[in-house]
Structures are given as structure tokens and as C-alpha cells.
Amino acid sequence: MSIENISTNKVFDGWHKQYNHQSQTLNCKMRFAIYLPPQAANGKKVPVMYWLSGLTCTDENFMQKASALKLAAELGIAIVAPDTSPRGEGVADDPEQAYDLGLGAGFYVNATQAPWNKHYQMYDYVVNELPGIIENHFPVNKQRVISGHSMGGHGALMIALRNPSLYQSATAFSPVSNPVNCPWGKKAFSAYLGADSKKWLQYDTCELIALAQQKIPMLVDQGENDNFLEEQLKPHSLVVAASSNHYPLSLNMRQGYDHSYYFIASFIETHLYFHAANLGLTE
């Protein structure tokens, strides 16, 4: 599959690049960003952290705001950030142009309901198609970790729980932990997956973590001043579910922090070090 480079910037002796490609999974043109640390320039294949962004975001938010690239360069970890949904002419959007459904709000599920099912197959894109592209075109190895924020935090934890053999670790900032029981999740899952709520459970982190048999290390950071804390995010439901199954998940409640990228930038190094340890890059 061909990819088209649309931007290139040197940063911390590595390279941040954006690419377009025609997605066979999503039936549209997609964009992703990749940061290649300086180690990748020397012929060494490096591990990859996949970053899934939240509602209304694109590939650019994390790369430009999270302050992650300096430490990624030191540790030798590539970072890949896809878009948050399919986009383009003919791709379905919410008729009322709400921020929490349609463009920018794919929720990392495989939609089964029309008109969404033609393009909104973000689960398969993140798990299968995108890593295949990355591993075919860039000097990376098969080691993967995954992280995300808000809707993307839901995606990162959910995808890791469903595919524990593919990821060494998973982390999240302010994840939508129990989407089957919050307004954002109920709205998106009803549209994308239909009215049968039993079919939603396969995409719910709390449901998955309580039943998981193969376990990988997980870390979650949550700001105590997050406006979405109680209604949408429900981190304590995640702790209860993890405790019921003795799942290796750590939750840090951060006093005074909100839902923004200021919060992410404050603790992204903790997440990168966590992943590096589970990748065997540090002691």
C-alpha cells in the first residue's frame, strides 16, 4: 500500500512526519503522524507507542501539545497517532454536527449500523491496518504499546484488553472507562452499534477488564478537577472492575488537574517511562 508524505519536521534529532493513505478498512483517505526517534536513523528497528486521541481531535493534537517527543527520542520509542475517525466526502456525520458523534468521534469501534458501517471501522483500522502500514514502511519492530486520552483512553484500554498478545502495556489519560453507562458512550454506541446494549459490552473497558484472562500492565491518570469526571469518565468503576479480577491496573488521581493537554503534558513522561520499562528499554 502506498503512502504520501505531506509534512516533515526534524525534532530532537528525530523526525516528525505526516502521511496520507487510502484506507481499505475505512474506505476513505486517512492521515496519520509518526515520530521516528534518532535511533531509527541508524538502521535499528524501534518499538512503537500508538496514541489514540479524544473527541474532536486529529493526529496533530498529541504531537504538538503533549511534550512527548524529547523523551521518546531519548528512550528510542516511535510514536504513531492516527486520526480519530474517517473523514472526507461521503463519510457520514451527525446531522446536527454534534461534537460527540460522527467526524472526530469514531470511538474506535466497528460500526454495524447504516450509514456509519460503510466507513466507521476504527477498531480494525487501529488493530490491523495501521500497524501493518507502519511495520511495512518504517524501521519499527513488532513491539507495541498503546495509550490515549478520553475517548482515545477508552480506545487504548479496550483495544489492549481485547488483544493482550499485541501490546506490552497500555496507559490512558482521563479514559471513558464505562461507556455503556455514560452519555457519550450511550449516544455513540446506539448510533454505531444499534439498540441492543449487549452488543456494546465488547467495547466497554470495565466489562472487559472484569473478565480478562491474559493480563498486561495498565496505568491510568485522571485529573480531580476534570469537568467530565463523574458523568462521563467514571474512573472508580474501572478500579472496582479491575479489583474484582486482580487486574494489574494503577490509577493516579491528580489533584487540581483538568481534562486538557496541560494535564497530559504534565504526566506524559510517567507514561513513557512506564511503557519503556515494559518494553525492556529501562530497568
**Higher pLDDT, residue 258 or 283:** 258
Nearest in space to 50 (alpha carbons), one of 160, 161, 208, 137: 160
At residue 216 the predicted structure's pLDDT band, cuts being 50, 70 and 90, is very high
Q: For the segment 127-165, what is each residue's pLDDT rounded down to a tens digit?
A: 999 999 999 999 999 999 999 999 999 999 999 999 999
Q: Which amino acid is at 66?
A: A
**8, β-bridge pairs:** 17
Domain of 60: which CATH number?
3.40.50.1820
In a domain, 147, yes or no: yes
Q: Stretch 76-105: mean pLDDT, rounded?
A: 96
Q: Exactly one of 59, 83, 221, 226 is catalytic; name it.
A: 226
178 has a pLDDT exceeding 80 = yes
Q: Exactly one of 16, 149, 154, 259 is catalytic; name it.
A: 259
Q: Stretch 227-244: mean pLDDT, rounded?
A: 97
At residue 1, the pLDDT reads 74
Structural domain that includes position 221: 3-278
Number of residues in the chain: 283
In a domain, 270, yes or no: yes
H/E segment holding residue 261: helix 261-278
At residue 252, the pLDDT reads 98
Average pLDDT of the chain? 97
Q: Exactly one of 23, 53, 147, 150 is catalytic; name it.
A: 150
In a domain, 100, yes or no: yes
In a domain, 134, yes or no: yes
Upstream peptide bond of 139 is cis (omega within 30 degrees of 0): no
In a domain, 46, yes or no: yes
Q: Are 53 and 90 in contact (CB under 8 A)?
A: no
At residue 59, the pLDDT reads 97
Asked if 93 is an active-site residue, the reply is no
In a domain, 74, yes or no: yes
CA 154 to chain centre: 7
- Number of domains, the chain: 1
**Higher pLDDT, residue 270 or 1:** 270
Q: For the segment 164-177, what is each residue's pLDDT rounded down to a tens digit?
A: 999 999 999 999 99
In a domain, 283, yes or no: no
Asked if 150 is an active-site residue, the reply is yes
Nearest in space to 169 (alpha carbons), one of 147, 202, 201, 195: 147
Percent of the chain with pLDDT over 90: 97
In a domain, 95, yes or no: yes
Asked if 259 is an active-site residue, the reply is yes
43 has a pLDDT exceeding 90 = no
What is the spatial distance between Cα 5 and Cα 139, in angstroms, rounded to a whole number? 16
3-class secondary-structure state, position 279? coil
87 has a pLDDT exceeding 90 = yes
Phi, psi of 208 (to 5 degrees): -70, -40
